Structure 1
Amino acid sequence: MRHFLRLLASLSAICIMSIPAYAQGFVHAHHTQIVAAKGNPLILRGMGLGGWMVQEGYMMGLSNLKAQHVIRERISQIVGKKDTERFYRSWRDNLVTKADIDAMARWGFNSVRLPMHWKLFIKETPGKNGESSIVWNEEGFRRVDRLIAWLKANKMYLILDLHAAPGGQGHDIAISDRDPNSPSLWDSSRNQEAMIALWSEIARRYKNETTIAGYDLLNEPNWGFQDKEDKGGCRETENRPLREIYERTIHAIRSIDSNHMLIIEGNCWGNNYAGILPIADRNTALSFHKYWTPTTQGSIEPFLKLRQQYDMPLWNGESGENTNDWYKRAVTLQEKNGIGWSWWPLKKLGRGNPLEIKTNTNYRQLAAYLRGEGKKPTVKDARAGLMRLARDSRFDRNTHHPDVVEALIGASRKSGAPH
């Protein structure tokens, strides 16, 4: 009997040692489910903080300019570099505050997806022999730290999303703020090394932070590797460069951080996984994005098949820009299938989201000029319009749309999925 007890104790110790470190206090992937620290199924219900670190033109009423660096340059031509920097600093100070996160918690959301711009985390400085070395831009990390504190206070989760990677990861330049006149992520080994270095630094700083649910390694790659005419990569059958950068990034993160769940997105805006799977890392989830498609079971069937085939969880990292009725049906569909979601975005100029940023007369005149639809404003008026817009991006100055919140959270409550 004593021998049996010793054997049982030894087996128990082996089992305990075999439990991955990430299971202790961290959200993680468990076969086809995302689970919370204690192993209970977790449906992530969140919003994406689009427009905060990465501005897309349409969010600013400037669809024609598309990418943030273009918008910034055009603004700078009118008000100068110093006032342009003042505007962007104030924009980042005001757009997301503790009040936004507190409200999301009250409404019933349990998570936030943060789209990150690499330039807020990395400075490149000249080194010896004309080379460049990475110096960390602490502004990005300070803002992440503050966001973590707000989320932690509300018992919510954070997903870090590399939205704008060094060089840009797609032909859809608004998404990644890519400059077509410079080497892309795929055309530059230095850009790829910077991406991997950034995730390594994130892993180093946050490896013990349980508020972070996962690292979304690369947002919506859209690139034809085999066929240059296939701009979005939707016909790609191999995706070798994408698979390779995922493998290299995962290896780098896991050499530092064995705790956090990793999230990968396919080519074709997160929808084409040909050649990418399987991924050896077992604490990895698949993210698909769903816009303007039917809310039928068949519309997500390809992703459900991937979940079963590769024994990995699914998460819808982006969805939105539609009607409340579509929102209700989309949430119901996903939760019925055990899939969490992150809606896009929390706020912008225009309706369709929980919060709306109000415009002002001076900004509307500036935007009309930048769209080629009006006369050039004075420097004084343009400056005033920009700074007013930045202040009005604050939660207490936003127009609230509770009907959007009810469409999302109401459908979630009725879905029968665990809360």
Structure 2
Amino acid sequence: MLIFLLVPIQLFAQGFLKTSGTKIINEKNENVLLRGYGLGGWMLQEGYMLRVYRDGQQHKIRQRIEALVGAEKTQAFYDAWLANHTTKADIDALKAWGFNSVRLPMHFELYTLPVDKEPVAGRQTWLDKGFEMTDSLLAWCKANKMYLILDLHAAPGGQGNDLNISDRDGSMPSLWENPAHQQKTVALWKKVAERYKNEPWIAAYDIINEPNFGFEDPVNDKNGLKEKTNVPLKKLMMDITKAIREVDNKHIIIIEGNGWGNNYNGILPPWDANMVLSFHKYWNFNNVASIEYILKYRDQYKVPVWIGETGENSNVWFTQAIRLLEDHNIGWAWWPLKKLGSNNPLEIRTNDGYQQILAYWSNRGPKPGAEMAWQALMQLAADTKFENNIYHKDVIDAMLRQPHSREAIPFKKHAPGAIQAVDYDLGINGVAYYDMDTANYRVSDPALKQGGNSGRMYRNDGVDIGGSEGNYYVTDIETGEWLQYTIHIPRNGDYLLKLNTAADSTGGRAVIQVNGKAVKKDVTLPATGGIQQWRVTDAGKISLKKGTYTFRVMAEAGGFHLKELIVASSY
């Protein structure tokens, strides 16, 4: 797997991070801008990451697996999943790419028994597994001089009505409805703080991820978006803070509002001198208005803010969001590092057997045999390993280089020959390519919810891509859209230009530019009778000297699909 070092690695002096007014600083009093990734899907599976869209809580997925292969093999699958999903190789890669921090979503069941399984009610049984995994992750972070944020993602009983997030059983009392769950949560954080109180590469404790619960109006406001006081949430977070401070006065404590982290009504002012406000941002416009509320809190209470989760969108959205956040000195943790899907740096491969399992679970196919299901699940677990992941360098480039650069760089080293259309240059929209429909902004405007790559494969820009591995192509090209390719010409000579296209009933018309100058206009593209009926169109000959050129294929009239730009030597 090829790893690109896209930005200079930022080294920080070892020492505990702390707050200073609206900044997070290190022991040298230097501003620290956290740039990180959340390890979603490792300790806690969320259904959508596995393409399970109905009853996607981890415990329900586990029950379905057990019904297919039995309890013993189910346990072996989860052991393999936890061993493979995140390793030192992942953390080494994050450092090499240019990130400086990691957020660990913790499932409480790896650290302590659930309340209803405690042998003695009211006592806390501690489990080694979660602490050992955290110790290993911390060691990998320390070796790379990266900060680790501990995040309680699945709290005892579950902290909200969005059940998948916290692996909550909605038929049972929540975190907010059972004092024993709250006592266990407080005890867990005290145990964590005791263990890691002297670890400076742990940046902070993110004490409750995305609370989303309607205290005042549980029927009409079940996720707490309109909550006015948030009394139970504030009380529990204050109790957790008190317990942590009994053993650890060094680490930052991060709090989150209700309504998936953003509703701070009744919660502020902060009650601790070393506290950071987190907020989460998805699917909305990347303008000052979208973060104005959190900036007001920051300025009013002189407290740093940090975005603990964001992502799940196109590269265009990523670049815009990071530019906005960093312009306001707000650090970030993107979500997630890997899953089944291409809008993250690492993609977990699927397999035919697992697709059959998904079909069965969604009532679209027969029940797979136990042996086949077992092989498919273990292949899936093996494919979570870093070395088996598909690396999406375009995502990394969009996050770390493109927010600060208007330069296009090659996606691949292109020479004369058949150049795959999907291998256009890396860069922002309007520089490396131009696409009309680039990102999902459905929260700000429900009509703008289908932007980005409609095929959801290979790359994560605005460009629509279809096909399958080894046979990708650009689809649904609209009038005015274009793609750019950096091509090295090895010698002087004449070169033939050709386009390999397909179209259903109407073709299209293209312009080919070289270094910004139109060299072939009105290239008429045929209607081929189907998206898989490809036909090569000769665009003519041009003379080129040895050197590196930028070629652009521009849609003067859209409606076609592009598989290849062919630059063929005529000698």
1:151 corresponds to which letter in structure 2?
C
In structure 1, the partner of 2:516 is none
Residue 266 (structure 1) aligns with: 257
Deviations 1:349-393 (A, max 9, x none): 011000000011111111111122211000001100000000010
- The answer as to whether partners of 1:350 and 1:357 remain within 8 angstroms in 2 is yes
Equivalent of 1:330, from 311, 321, 324? 321
Task: Report the Cα offset of residue 126 of structure 1.
Answer: 4.4
Counterpart-to-counterpart distance in 2, 1:270 and 1:383: 38
TM-score, with structure 2 as normaliser: 0.67
Task: Report the CA distance between 1:132 and its aligned residue.
Answer: 4.8
Which residue number in structure 2 is paired with residue 108 of structure 1? 98
What SS does the corresponding residue of 2:200 show, helix, strand or coil? coil
Per the TM alignment, residue 240 of structure 1 is displaced from its structure 2 partner at its CA by: 0.1
Residue 245 of structure 2 is matched in structure 1 by 254
Decide whether the 8 Å contact of 1:117 with 1:162 is kept in 2. Answer: yes
Counterpart AA for 2:401 = G
Report SS of the residue matched to 2:396. helix
Partners of 1:127 and 1:379 lie apart in 2 by 34
Give the equivalent residue in structure 2 for 1:311. 302
**Matched letter for residue 331 of structure 2:** G
Given that 2:14 and 2:200 are in contact with CA atoms closer than 8 Å, whether structure 1 keeps it comes out as no
The corresponding residue for 1:278 is 269
1:182 corresponds to 2:172: yes
Q: Residues 133-187 of structure 1, C-alpha deviation per residue, up to 9 Å, x if partnerless?
A: 2111110000000001101010000000000000000000000111011110000
Counterpart residue identity of residue 181, structure 2 = N
Q: Distance in 1 between matches of 2:404 and 2:18?
A: 23
Query: Is the CA contact (8 Å cut-off) linking 1:113 and 1:160 kept in structure 2?
Result: yes
- CA deviation map 1:117-140 (0-9, x unaligned): 000000255445xx2521111100
- Compute the displacement of 1:66 (Å): 1.6
2:63 pairs with 1:50: no
Looking at structure 2, the residues matched to 216 and 268 of structure 1 have their Cα atoms a distance apart, in angstroms, of 16
SS at match of 1:285: strand
1:221 to 211, 215, 219: 211
Structure (1 or 2) with the greater strand fraction? 2
Distance 1:33 1:413 in 2: 21
Which residue, out of 227, 245, 251, partners 1:236?
227
Aligned AA (1:311): K
Task: Report 1 or 2 for greater relative contact order, CA contacts < 8 Å, sequence distance ≥ 6.
Answer: 1
Distance 1:150 1:414 in 2: 31
Shift of residue 234, structure 1, vs aligned partner: 0.6
Amino acid at match of 1:255: E
Matches of 2:361 and 2:20 in 1, distance apart? 49
* Correspondence for 2:159 among 158, 162, 169: 169
Matched to 1:314, the amino acid is V
8 Å CA contact retained: 1:331, 1:411: no
Cα separation, 2, equivalents of 1:42 and 1:110: 10
Aligned partner of residue 162 in structure 1, secondary structure? strand
**Aligned-partner Cα distance in 1 for 2:198–2:184:** 23
The amino acid of 2:264's aligned partner reads: Y
TM-score by length of 1: 0.91
The aligned residue for residue 17 of structure 1 is none
Tell which deviates more after alignment, 158-167 or 362-371.
Answer: 362-371
Alignment of 1:21-40 (within 5 A): 25-40=15-30
1:119 equivalent in structure 2:
109
Residue aligning to 1:302: 293
Aligned equivalents of 1:54, 1:372: Cα separation in 2: 25
Of 25-34 and 165-174, the range deviating more from structure 2: 25-34
Distance 2:392 2:267 in 1: 39
User: CA contact under 8 A between 2:261 and 2:280: conserved in structure 1?
Assistant: yes
Q: What amino acid does structure 2 have at the position aligned with 1:205?
A: R
Is the contact made by 2:206 and 2:255 (CA closer than 8 Å) also made in structure 1?
yes
* Alignment partners' CA distance in 2, 1:412 and 1:201: 40
How far apart in 1 are the matches of 2:384 and 2:290?
A: 35
Matching residue of 2:86: 96
Tell me the alpha carbon deviations over residues 254-273 of structure 1, each in whole angstroms, 9 at most, x when there is no partner: 01000000000000001100
Secondary structure of 1:171's counterpart equals coil
- For residues 304 and 84 of structure 1, the distance between their equivalents in structure 2, rounded to whole angstroms, comes to 46
Match of 2:371 in 1: 380
Shift of 1:282: 1.1
How far did 1:232 drift?
A: 1.1
1:37 to partner: Cα distance: 2.4
The answer as to 2:193 corresponding to 1:197 is no
| Counterparts of 1:145 and 1:394, CA distance in 2 | 19
1:407 matched to 2:407? The reply is no
SS of the aligned residue for 1:136 comes to coil
SS in structure 2 at match of 1:316: strand
Higher gyration radius (CA): 2
Letter in 1 for 2:226: R
Cα offset for 1:253?
A: 0.3
The residue that corresponds to 1:41 in the other structure is 31
Q: Match for 2:202: what amino acid?
A: I
Secondary structure of 2:124's partner? strand
- Cα distance per residue 1:242-289 (max 9 Å; x no partner): 000011000000010000000000000011000000122010000000
Q: What residue identity is the alignment partner of 1:355?
A: L
Task: State the superposition RMSD in angstroms.
Answer: 1.4
Aligned-pair distance for 1:38? 1.7
1:71-90 correspondence runs (5 A): 71-90=61-80
Distance 1:133 1:174, change over 3 A: same
Give the match for residue 389 of structure 2.
Answer: 398
Aligned-pair CA distance for 1:335 = 0.2
Query: Equivalents in 1 of 2:86, 2:101: separation in Å?
Result: 14
Q: Which residue of 1 aligns with 2:468?
A: none
Specify the SS of the correspondent of 1:116: strand
Aligned residues: 391
Deviation track 1:305-357 (CA, whole Å, cap 9, x = no partner) reads: 00011111000000001000010000000000000000000000011000000
Answer whether contact 2:312 2:343 (CA < 8 A) is retained: yes
Structure 1 SS opposite 2:308 = strand
Which deviates further from its counterpart, 209-218 or 25-34? 25-34
Amino acid at match of 1:149: A
Aligned pair in 2 of structure 1 residues 58, 126: CA closer, same or farther (>3 Å)?
A: closer
Letter in 2 for 1:388: Q
Letter in 1 for 2:182: Q
1:271 touches 1:289 (CA, 8 Å); kept in 2? yes
